Amino acid sequence: MSTDTTRMIVDLLDPELYKSNPHDTWAWMRANEPVYRDEKNGLWGITRHADVMDVERRSSVFSSNGEYRAVVSPGESNMIAQDDPRHRQQRMLVQPQLTHAGVARRAAEVEALVAELVAEVVAQGEFEVIDMIAGQLPARLTSRLLGFPEEMWPELKSWSERLMRTDMRDRDEQVMAEFIDANREFLGAMMPILGEVTASPRDDFMSIWAHAEIDGQKLPPEAIFHEVGLFIAGGAETTRTAISHGLRAFCDNPDQWEAMAADPSLVTGAVEEVLRWVTPLNNFFRTALSDD
């Protein structure tokens, strides 16, 4: 990011922008160019809340279909790479598992895992939060949810880290190589499990996808591969980021931690505020289909 005498020049795909504190940049864009043209990358950056929500709601103009990333992946068919009605059809296959009722059904399971991890770190007295809690908790839960053996969580964590760097793969050959390796590895792990749950379904997402139909057609393995990849990246990496950066925010603002400890009713609001403040996904992309 740089400035000239008239305007701020922003590379919206520059990792350094996000590693530093981008809030001053966002504030300038909102105040001066809420629809900002990033000439280097051929992108428009939308920063005002009302405008972002308008883009989100008008899929007839702003499409997710196959191009929801900065680096386009032709043929990608997971649910967030689709517009309605296909998006809704794919989402509804697993949505019952992610409603309040679906989450409540797993509450005891999640609480037991959190208690286990916290007990381990309390016994140590000092620990590395990414390795022992922030990385491990979502990777283990995502493994269970998808249908991978839970002991594979370190592999799933590694896959998520490499998959989430996808938008840098055209800038860094090593990122591209690691992205390809991650896809190859989780496909190799997925296919035997997919065969098992096709023959004998279990309580996991791969079982749902293996037996699902949309418009009278079974989902092909390629479509299931794309959905599994979405949940590996979105389930494991983003939650890790929210936990770790949320804890950092409380370390920087200990009065807020003490307030929450004194009044547990604040926890629900604190979770929402952590997600807003951390923003594990810094940007999302749409393709404009018209100049409307």
Helices (H), the chain: 15-19, 23-32, 49-57, 86-98, 100-105, 107-124, 129, 136-146, 153-163, 173-199, 205-211, 221-231, 238-252, 254-262, 267-278
Alpha-carbon span 233 to 164, nearest angstrom: 6
Q: Is residue 74 part of a domain?
A: no
Q: Residue 75's pLDDT band (boundaries 50, 70, 90)? A: confident
Give the SS3 label for residue 63: strand
Alpha-carbon span 197 to 192, nearest angstrom: 9
Q: Is residue 57 part of a domain?
A: no
Question: Which amino acid, residue 266?
Answer: L
Give the SS3 label for residue 201: coil
Q: Is residue 12 part of a domain?
A: no
Number of domains in the chain: 1
Give the pLDDT confidence of 134-177 residue by residue, as tens digits: 999 999 999 999 999 999 999 999 999 888 877 666 677 888 88
Instruction: Give me the chain's average pLDDT, please.
Output: 90
Give the pLDDT confidence of 211-268 residue by residue, as tens digits: 999 999 999 999 999 999 999 988 888 899 999 999 999 999 999 999 999 999 999 9
pTM of the model: 0.85
Give the pLDDT confidence of 78-96 residue by residue, as tens digits: 998 888 999 999 999 999 9
Task: Report yes or no: 69 and 287 within 8 Å, Cβ to Cβ.
Answer: no
What pLDDT does residue 213 have? 96
Tokens of 137: 């908790």
CA angle 158, 163, 166 (to 5 degrees): 145
What pLDDT does residue 167 have? 67
Beta carbons within 10 angstroms of residue 146's beta carbon? 23
Q: Is residue 8 part of a domain?
A: no
Query: Is the C-alpha dihedral spanning 245, 247, 253, 257 positive or negative?
Result: positive
Residue 4 has pLDDT above 60, yes or no: no
What pLDDT does residue 291 have? 79
Average pLDDT over residues 28-48: 94
Of 8-17, 36-45, 77-86, 275-284, the poorest mean pLDDT is in 275-284
**Owner of token pair 């990777």:** 139
Tokens of 53: 């929500």
**Element of type H or E holding 37:** strand 35-38
What pLDDT does residue 126 have? 85
Q: Residue 125's pLDDT band (boundaries 50, 70, 90)? A: confident
Query: Is the C-alpha dihedral spanning 165, 169, 172, 176 positive or negative?
Result: positive
What pLDDT does residue 283 have? 80
Average pLDDT over residues 60-68: 80
Q: Is residue 263 part of a domain?
A: yes
How far, CA to CA in Å, does 34 sit from each of 68, 246, 290? 20, 28, 19
* Cβ-Cβ contacts under 8 Å for 94 (sequence gap 6 or more): 205, 208, 209
Query: Is the C-alpha dihedral spanning 114, 256, 261, 250 positive or negative?
Result: positive
Task: Report yes or no: 147 and 207 within 8 Å, Cβ to Cβ.
Answer: yes
Q: Is residue 216 part of a domain?
A: yes
Q: Is residue 203 part of a domain?
A: yes
Task: Report yes or no: 238 and 181 within 8 Å, Cβ to Cβ.
Answer: no
Q: Residue 282's pLDDT band (boundaries 50, 70, 90)? A: confident
Residue 211 is part of a domain; what is its CATH number?
A: 1.10.630.10
**Structural domain harbouring 213:** 92-282
Q: Is residue 86 part of a domain?
A: no
